[in-house]
Amino acid sequence: MVPIVLLLGKNVYVKTPPRGSILLETMRVIGFALGAKWSINPIKTIQAIRAVDFWDPAKPCGCSRGA
């Protein structure tokens, strides 16, 4: 079933060239999210990482907010 769907929809899909490794971009986003939550106390850092709002600073909508 899946190959049939892929063949029938191949003209509809957006094909982008490979970007290579996204490791640096991933580390930048994690560092941006961790920057506001990091503490010298490891217990506080772990609690902040486990918080529900940990990824909020790294979301794209968080960059333009506040203007």
- Token duo for residue 5: 């769907």
- Give per-residue pLDDT as tens, 9-67: 888 888 888 888 889 989 988 888 888 888 899 999 999 889 898 888 888 864 555 44
Q: Which residues are CB-neighbours of 30 under 8 A, at least 6 positions away?
A: 58
Instruction: Give the pLDDT of residue 62.
Output: 47
Euclidean distance between the first and final Cα of the chain, in Å? 49
Q: What is the pTM of this model?
A: 0.54
The answer on pLDDT for 2 being more than 60 is yes
Which of 62, 64, 58 is CA-nearest to residue 26?
A: 58
